[in-house]
Structure 1
Amino acid sequence: MARRGRNDRTPVPDLRPVGGGRAELLRDADRDGGWVLIVGGVPQSYVDLADPTYLDFEYMRLLGDIVDCLGLPGEPFDAVHVGGAGCTLPRYLAATRPGSRQVVLEPDGELVALVRERLPLRGVRGVKIRITDGRTGLAAIPDASDDLVVLDAFADATVPAELVTEAFTREAARVLRPAGVYLMNIADGTRLAFARRVTATVREVFPHVLMLADPGVLRGRRFGNIVLAASRAPLPADALTRRAAGGIARARLVDGADLVAFGGGAAPIRAAADVVPPEPPERVFGAF
């Protein structure tokens, strides 16, 4: 789920039925290689086929900033992506960290076929897509095998509840190497009750956690994306604070005591039945 400001799109008449409803592609009139993938009326991915380092959605820029600040510049990563859509971040990693080995877990086979046809991955080295759900796919990954686990999965404009439980978070921790990082894209608004519970859940599993989001979202003024990063090792909070302050995407970084206060005693999510992920208001996607 993503929000974007411009609305200068040229529709592509090829509309496809996929597992999540109807998929369509909109061409970006401002960028020759730019495409927006929309599923069930919800924008899922922006892909620039000519320049995979161009990240258009605000939350994706924040994910890219975190990735850029990890390890050595250009160092290849092994990564698992829970949720695929247009594979924007896998393309970015392949371009900025050549030699990376990546697995994308995407349950919608029809969507995968559309992406392979219209947003081809043939020239993107090291990326494999497995048509499977996140829990099943992650369970098949060996212990301590990856540097990154990325959760960016939405169904009907909401994060699947089973992917934000303590059990799933511990599965992500199991797959990560000692200094590996778990990245999450969630969405919330108003009182941020869902984000507080997700944060409490992640903090139960990882000793180092930080949050990045638009200040208006963190104040509950609008519905939007919230990015979390978690690790057993310290995270590059200072570098990310500087990026957040001076980057194209306006963001505020929250960590340490401020993140504890943000949680405000919220209960971790023990089971999917314990939480109902929030649905965005319709106006969020009005630009599309």
Structure 2
Amino acid sequence: MNLAEPTEIFYEYLRRIGHVVDLAAEPATPITALHLGAGALTLARYIEATRPGSEQYAVELERELLDFVLQKLPMPAGTTLHNHIGDARDALAELPVQVRFDVVILDIFSGPDAPAHIACKEFYEEAAARLQPHGVLIINVGDEPALTLVRSQVAAMRKAMPDVAAFAETGMFAGRYPGNIILVGTRGPWSPEWTTELLARGPHPATVLTGIDLDRITG
């Protein structure tokens, strides 16, 4: 992580998530964001750098991890970040009920053995209920070559949200090696302009699948 330039993101999948966040509101406009799985707060730093004044919430199961990150990699002065220790699904009910999010980012899946109480339609319905009308739900799915988790999560999200897109390095959709696929749920129809923007921003080579094209992958 480059603390001097938080818009420089090392991991490709995190860069892709950042590009989706870029489209969630007008450039440089502050947003309200929820991070389920805080990690090193990479995306929280990115949002603060690109959208100063944003209000952000970070949920992390491991208190030691969050404490370590904040001690060794402090957030920029002026960042509004509310930290919450606990389970990602429980946190949705525990956060202030009046808060509605422009972006909810879930980054806790790391293979087919995902937590069943989170990798399900009911969780996505609860998450979608906390979004603004224009808000987006962004899920990082780390999966094995068979893409079993990706398929199941697309199916679950489609039952909970009006539209779903998948964004990844092109070769990931062939199901030949493990990696990350970003799923994006929207509260309205997916915009073709978003596809154009995401493909242009990369990282390259990139593919965005929606509708019938996504059906072919998920079965």
Whether TM-score is above 0.5 comes out as: yes
Tell me the residue number matched to 1:70: 24
| In the alignment, structure 1 residue 204 sits paired with structure 2 residue 167 | no
CA shift in 2, pair 1:97/1:182, >3 Å: same
1:135 corresponds to which letter in structure 2? Answer: R
Tell me the residue number matched to 2:2: 48
Note the alpha carbon deviations across 1:187-209, whole angstroms, 9 max, x for none: 12322122111100000011111
**Separation (CA, whole Å) in 1 of partners of 2:117 and 2:174:** 26
Tell me the residue number matched to 1:230: 185
Gaps of 5+ in 1: 1-46, 265-288
Note the alpha carbon deviations across 1:62-111, whole angstroms, 9 max, x for none: 10111112221111111111000100111111110111100000010111
1:107 touches 1:134 (CA, 8 Å); kept in 2?
yes
**Separation (CA, whole Å) in 2 of partners of 1:124 and 1:143:** 23
How far has the Cα of 1:131 moved from its partner?
1.2
| In the alignment, structure 1 residue 257 sits paired with structure 2 residue 205 | no
CA shift in 2, pair 1:242/1:232, >3 Å: closer
2:111 touches 2:149 (CA, 8 Å); kept in 1?
no
Under a length normalisation based on structure 1, what TM-score does the superposition of the two structures give? 0.70
1:69 touches 1:239 (CA, 8 Å); kept in 2?
yes
Tell me the secondary structure at the aligned position of residue 146 of structure 2. coil
Kindly tell me the number of residue pairs found equivalent between the two proteins: 218
2:13 touches 2:180 (CA, 8 Å); kept in 1?
yes
The answer to which structure has the higher helix fraction is: 2
Deviates more, 1:165-174 or 1:236-245: 236-245
1:69 touches 1:240 (CA, 8 Å); kept in 2?
no
Tell me the residue number matched to 1:220: 175
> What root-mean-square deviation, in Å, do the aligned CA atoms of Structure 1 and Structure 2 show?
2.0
CA shift in 2, pair 1:98/1:246, >3 Å: closer
How far has the Cα of 1:236 moved from its partner?
3.8
Gaps of 5+ in 2: none
Note the alpha carbon deviations across 1:211-262, whole angstroms, 9 max, x for none: 0011211101110001011111234443333432553343210001112332
- The one of 243, 246, 260 equivalent to 2:198 is 243
Tell me the secondary structure at the aligned position of residue 152 of structure 1. strand
How far has the Cα of 1:118 moved from its partner?
0.7
Tell me the residue number matched to 1:90: 44
Greater C-alpha Rg: 1
Tell me the residue number matched to 2:150: 195
**Separation (CA, whole Å) in 2 of partners of 1:162 and 1:60:** 24
How far has the Cα of 1:133 moved from its partner?
1.4
CA shift in 2, pair 1:136/1:234, >3 Å: same
| In the alignment, structure 1 residue 58 sits paired with structure 2 residue 6 | no
Under a length normalisation based on structure 2, what TM-score does the superposition of the two structures give? 0.91
Tell me the residue number matched to 1:102: 56
